[in-house]
Structure 1
Amino acid sequence: MMSAEPAGNWWGRARSAFAAKPQRTDLLAPDRLDTYGPAIQAALPLLLAGLIAFKLQIYMDGDTGWHLGAGKWILANGAVPTTDPFSHTMPGKAWTAHEWLAEIVMTGAFRLAGWGGLAALFALSVGTTFHLLAREAFRNLSARWAVVAVSIAASLLFTFALARPHVLAWTLLAAWTVILLRAREGRRAPPLAAALLMVVWANLHASYIFGFGLAGLFALESLIENPRDRGLLGRWVAFGLASLAAAALVTPFGPSDFLYPFQVSGMKALSVISEWRRSVPLADKLFFICLAGLAVLVVARWRTIPPLRLLLLVGLSAMAITHARHQMLFAIVGLLVVLPLLDPRAASRPHLTPVRWFWPAVALLVALRVAIPYQFKEHSSYPLSLLAKVPDEIRRQPVYNEYSQGGPLVMLGIRPYIDGRADMYGDDFTFRSRAINRGDIVKFREDVARYGIRWAVVEFDDGLKRKLEREPGWRKFAEDKHATIFIRTN
C-alpha cells in the first residue's frame, strides 16, 4: 500500500510549482516571427484601425447623436452649455457638458465627411492607441506573445468600440500610463511637459480622474523606494501640481469638475444602463478568463510584484467587475502594468526599429475612409428613415421616445423626452422612462398630460408599442422593422 502524503504537503508542492523563478520563462525567447517584428508591430495596430474604419459597427449607441448635437450647439453659440438646451422635459436644468472638446472634434469630423469622417476619426484614435500598446508589448515579449497580448486587449476593448468620447480617451490613457511607467523604470519623475496631456484629457472625458490616481500611486511607489531622495520627490510633486493645474484651470467648469465622475458613479439609475452593469461570467467570458490568467500570474510571481502594482491590479479588477465599462481601464492599464512583470529581462531588451511606413499608412487609411461613401446601417436606436417621414409641424411638437433614441432626435433638431444624459435627467426620471418603455400606460398618460406630448417613437419590441396600438386617441403613423411612430389624434 502507498503511504499517505503528509497533510499540507500538497500545498507546498503546488506553491513551488507556481513560484517558478522568472528566468525560466521563455516569453522573450526569439521565435520565427521576431524576424518580422517591426513590420508586425506596425501592421497590428493598422489592422485594428482598419476594423474600426471599415468593418465594426461603431454607431450602435444613440449617445453618438446627442454628442453631435452638443458639438453643433457649441460651435453655433461659441460657448459650452451649462444648462440643458435640448430636451422638452428638462429645459434649463443644470448640465455638465464635460465632454465638450470631444463633441467639437466629433462634429468637425462629421461635417467634413459625414459618418465616414467620424469613423476615420475613431480609426485614427484606435490606431494610435494600439500603436502605443503594441510598442510596449513587443518591447517586453517575443513577437508571438506580443501579438497574443495585443489581440486580447483588442478583444476586450472592441466590445466598447462606439463612436463616443471614451474611445478618443483611450489614446490619452495609454500615453499617460506609458509615461508614468517609463518614469518609474528610469527612477525619475515624468517630464513636466507631460502634464499638458491633462489640458486635453480633462476637457475630453471624465476618465482623466483615474489618470490622477494612477500618477499618485506611482509617485507613492517612488517615495517608498527612494525615501531620502528629496529632489526626486520634489519633481513628482511638481508634476502632480502641474497636472492638477492643467485640469482644474483650463476647463469651463473649474475645480468643481473633479466631483462630476463621483456624482455619476453614485447614481441608482446606472443599474439599468448596459455599460454600467456588473460584469458577469456569462456575458463577459473573455474578461473573466483574463482575470483568471492574472490570478495565476500573481500566484506565480508574487515575490517579485511590487505591492502597489499588485494593489493597482486588484483595484482595476474590482472596478471592472463592479461596472463592465471599466473593463476598458483593465485592458489598457492592466496590460501595460503586467507586461514588465512577465520577465525581468524586458527592461534591457532593445527597442524594435520603427518602420517608416506606419504613419503614412495610417494617413492613407484615414483618407480612404473619408473618400469612400459610408453605408450607415439603421437600427432601433437610429430609425432615421422613419423619422424623416414625420412632417415638420409634428416634429416641432413634444415627443415621447425611448432612452437610446434621444440622441438621434437631438442630432436632428428634435427636442426629446429623454436621451443618454442620465446624469442630468436623474434617477427618478430615468426609472420612470424605463417603466413606460416596458408598458406602464398609466405613467405614459400622466406624462402625455404633463408635457403635452403629441407623438411617440418607440422601439419595435417595446412593451409600450403593444399598449399604444390599443390606446384610444393614438394612431400608428409609420412603422418599419426597427421602430414605430404613433401620433396623437385628440
Structure 2
Amino acid sequence: MSTTAAHDDVTVEPDHTGDGPPVDLSVLQDRIPDWLRLSRAAALLTAVLGVVFVLASYHPLWHTDVWGHLSYGRWIWQHGGLPSTEPLLPLCEGVPMVDPAWLTQLVAFGAYSALGVTALQFLFAASITIASALLAAAVWNRSGSMLAALVGMGAALWANYQQLLVARPQLAGLVGFSAVLVIATSSRHRRSDLFVVPAIFAIWANLHGSFPVGLALLGLLFLGRAVDVLRRTRTLRAVLHDRQTRRLLLLTELAAAAVLINPYGFKLYLAVVAISQNPNLQDLIEWDPLTLRMSQGRAAAVVSLALIVLYRLSPRRVSAGEVIALVVFGAATLWSSRMIHWWAPLAGFYLALHLAAVLRKYRGRYPAESPATGLWSLVSVGLIWIFFAYTPFGYQVLHGRKMSEEQQGARFRKSVSRLTPIAATEYLHRNTPEGQVFNTYEWGDYLLWAGPSDLQLFVNSHAHLVPEEVWQDYLRISSAASGWDDKLDRYGVNAVVVDKRGRENLIRRLKQESATWKIGYEDNISAVFLRRNPV
C-alpha cells in the first residue's frame, strides 16, 4: 500500500533528464526589444543590399568627375572658404563661380586625406545602397511583397546603371530624391515630416545642385493630388480642404525655403538654372537626348513597357500624381539622357507597387510573413558585418595595416578605372612643362588632382565655367579641325596630354608635325607631346 502526500508550501522543480542541473528556460526568451526585431524577409533584403554594397565597393572609381571635386575640396580646405571665381584653370580666371557641391567636395577630400581611396569607394557604394534600401523598404512596407520590392529596386538600378558608374556628388542627390519620394508618397502622415523634409533639402542644397528635381517631385505630387480630389468631388473647395493636398503644398513650400540655408542664399537658385542652360553642356554626350542606341535607352524602354503592361493589369488605383511625375520626368529624360538618374527610381517604385497588386490579384493573399524575432535581427547584423568586412574599406578599417608606398600604389591602381592617366601624370611630375598645357576634357580632373601643383591645364569637367570661346577652341583642337595648330600657338600651348580613345586624329596630326612637336611619353591609353621650342 502506498500513500501520496500533497503539501501546498512545497515548490516543485520542473522535470528534467540527465545528471546535470535543471535547464533555465528563461535564457531562451527573446530579450531583443520589439522595435529592434526583424523578420526573415528583412534579413533577405539585408543580404541583397549587402551584395549591392560589395559590388559597388569594388567598382573602379571613374577617371573624371570625382578627382575634380576632390581638387575643389582641397582648395576650400587650404583657403578656409569658398571660391568666388574659378580658382584652378588659368583660362577661366575671373569667371564667377557658385559651387553647389562644396560640402560634398569637402567631405570627400577629408575622407580621402584620412583613409585613402577606399574611403571614396565606401561613400560611392553607401550612396547607391542607401538609395536602393529606401526604395525597396518603402515598396515592401506599402505592399507587403518582398518580391515586388526587389524587382522594383532591380529595375531602378538597371535603368540607372550608366549614371551610377561615375562617382560624383549627384549620388548624394539620389539619396535625397529617394528619401523625398518615400516620405511624399507614404500613406502615413507624420508631424516629423514637416521637419525631416526641410532638413533633407537644406543638406541637399549644399551637397549638389540637383535639389530642384526634388522640389519638382513634391510639386508634381501636389498637383496630382489636387487633380484626384477635383475629379472625385468636382469642387475646388474640397481641394482646398483636402488634408493630403495641403500637406504636399506645405512640404513643397518648406523645402523651397530650406534650400536658402546655403552660403549663397537665393543666388543658388539662379546659378543652378544658369548651369543647366549653359551652351557648353550641349556638347557633352551625357546631355544628349535619350535614344535606343544607348544601353540606358534600351533599359528605359523595357522598364517603360513593363510599366504599361502592369498598369493594364493592376487593380490598384492609379493616382494622377504618379502619372504626372512619370510623364514629366520621362519627357525630361528623353530631352536629356542624364535625367534618367531621377526617372529610374520613380519608375522602379511605381512598377513595384503595381507588380505587388497584380501578384495579389492572381495569387490571392500573400503567405503569412515569418514573425519578427531577435534571431533575424542578429542574422541581419551579422550579414552587415560580413559584407562590410569584405569590402576594401572594411578590410582597411578592421585590419588597420599600414602599407608601404608600393602597396598603396598597387591598391590605388586596383581602385581606379584603367583609363586613369596614372603613368602620364607620373611623367609630368618628372618633366613638368612650363606654360599652358592642352588636355582632353576627360582627364582634366585627374591631372588637377594628381598632377604637378603648377600645371596650367586647359579644361576640366566643370565645362559650364569655361568661357564659350575657349570651349569652342577646345573642341576644335581636340578634333584636329581646321586651324587646330594655330589655336595651340595662340594659347601658347607647350604640352598636349591626350587620351587615345577618340583622339586618334589629333594624335596623328601631332605626329605629322614632327618639326614642332615630339612625343614625350606614350602608352596604350595616353600620349604626351612636347613643343620642341617652347613659347
1:187 Cα offset (Å): 6.0
Question: In the alignment, which residue of structure 2 is the partner of 1:487?
Answer: 530
Q: Is the 8 A contact 1:401 1:417 kept in 2?
A: yes
| Cα separation, 2, equivalents of 1:91 and 1:351 | 62
1:465 Cα offset (Å): 0.9
Residues 131-142 of structure 1 aligned to structure 2 (within 5 Å): 131-139=133-141, 140=143, 142=145
SS in 1 for 2:92: coil
* Equivalent residue letter for 1:446: K
With normalisation by structure 2, the TM-score equals 0.76
Question: In the alignment, which residue of structure 2 is the partner of 1:209?
Answer: 212
Q: Is the 8 A contact 1:409 1:415 kept in 2?
A: no
Q: Is the 8 A contact 1:119 1:369 kept in 2?
A: no
Listed one character per residue, the Cα deviations across residues 165-184 of structure 1 (whole Å, up to 9, x for unaligned) are: 112222111111101111xx
Question: In the alignment, which residue of structure 1 is the partner of 2:3?
Answer: none
SS in 2 for 1:85: coil
Of 84, 88, 91, the match for 1:86: 88
Listed one character per residue, the Cα deviations across residues 139-160 of structure 1 (whole Å, up to 9, x for unaligned) are: 3263334333222222223322
Q: Is the 8 A contact 2:473 2:487 kept in 1?
A: no
| Cα separation, 1, equivalents of 2:507 and 2:442 | 16
Residues 440-451 of structure 1 aligned to structure 2 (within 5 Å): 440=481, 442-449=483-490, 451=491
Of 468, 476, 483, the match for 1:435: 476
Of 179, 184, 201, the match for 1:180: 184
Q: Is the 8 A contact 2:51 2:387 kept in 1?
A: no
| Cα separation, 2, equivalents of 1:376 and 1:406 | 18
Of 233, 246, 251, the match for 2:258: 246
1:291 Cα offset (Å): 1.6
| Cα separation, 2, equivalents of 1:228 and 1:485 | 66
Q: Within the alignment, does 1:406 sit opposite 2:406 as a pair?
A: no
Q: Within the alignment, does 1:200 sit opposite 2:203 as a pair?
A: yes
1:91 Cα offset (Å): 1.3
Q: Is the 8 A contact 1:188 1:232 kept in 2?
A: no
Of 21, 34, 39, the match for 2:43: 39
Change (3 A) 1:376 1:156: farther
Q: Within the alignment, does 1:465 sit opposite 2:465 as a pair?
A: no
Of 459, 468, 474, the match for 1:418: 459
SS in 2 for 1:416: coil
Moved more, 94-103 or 263-272: 263-272
1:478 Cα offset (Å): 0.8
Listed one character per residue, the Cα deviations across residues 176-235 of structure 1 (whole Å, up to 9, x for unaligned) are: 1101111xx236773333211111100111221011111122333444535252776665
Residues 6-85 of structure 1 aligned to structure 2 (within 5 Å): 36-54=40-58, 56-57=59-60, 59-85=61-87
Q: Is the 8 A contact 1:199 1:246 kept in 2?
A: yes
1:379 Cα offset (Å): 5.9
Q: Within the alignment, does 1:278 sit opposite 2:315 as a pair?
A: no
Which segments of 5 or more consecutive residues in structure 1 lack a partner in the other structure?
Answer: 1-34
Q: Is the 8 A contact 1:169 1:201 kept in 2?
A: yes
SS in 2 for 1:52: helix
Change (3 A) 1:156 1:375: farther
Q: Within the alignment, does 1:367 sit opposite 2:394 as a pair?
A: yes
| Cα separation, 2, equivalents of 1:207 and 1:108 | 23
SS in 2 for 1:467: helix
SS in 2 for 1:86: coil
Q: Is the 8 A contact 2:70 2:105 kept in 1?
A: yes
Listed one character per residue, the Cα deviations across residues 89-132 of structure 1 (whole Å, up to 9, x for unaligned) are: 11121122111111111111211222211101111222212221
Q: Is the 8 A contact 1:127 1:362 kept in 2?
A: no
| Cα separation, 2, equivalents of 1:343 and 1:142 | 6
SS in 2 for 1:477: strand
Change (3 A) 1:102 1:391: closer
| Cα separation, 2, equivalents of 1:334 and 1:393 | 51
Question: In the alignment, which residue of structure 1 is the partner of 2:26?
Answer: none
Q: How many residues align?
A: 450
Listed one character per residue, the Cα deviations across residues 293-348 of structure 1 (whole Å, up to 9, x for unaligned) are: 223334445993122321111112212222222112111122224433445599x9
1:237 Cα offset (Å): 4.6
Change (3 A) 1:406 1:137: same
Listed one character per residue, the Cα deviations across residues 247-303 of structure 1 (whole Å, up to 9, x for unaligned) are: 11x212211211333323333433431221222113232111112222333444599
| Cα separation, 1, equivalents of 2:285 and 2:276 | 14
Question: In the alignment, which residue of structure 2 is the partner of 1:293?
Answer: 306
Change (3 A) 1:302 1:327: farther
Question: In the alignment, which residue of structure 1 is the partner of 2:332?
Answer: 319
Larger Rg: 2
Q: Is the 8 A contact 1:84 1:93 kept in 2?
A: yes
| Cα separation, 2, equivalents of 1:476 and 1:108 | 37
SS in 2 for 1:394: coil
Q: Is the 8 A contact 2:444 2:461 kept in 1?
A: yes
* Equivalent residue letter for 1:229: H
| Cα separation, 1, equivalents of 2:170 and 2:195 | 25
Q: Within the alignment, does 1:334 sit opposite 2:336 as a pair?
A: no
Q: Within the alignment, does 1:382 sit opposite 2:420 as a pair?
A: yes
| Cα separation, 2, equivalents of 1:232 and 1:427 | 46
Q: Is the 8 A contact 1:192 1:238 kept in 2?
A: no
Q: Is the 8 A contact 1:46 1:362 kept in 2?
A: yes
Moved more, 148-157 or 301-310: 301-310
Of 464, 475, 493, the match for 1:453: 493
Q: Is the 8 A contact 2:50 2:384 kept in 1?
A: no
Question: In the alignment, which residue of structure 2 is the partner of 1:12?
Answer: none
| Cα separation, 1, equivalents of 2:494 and 2:313 | 64
* Equivalent residue letter for 2:428: V
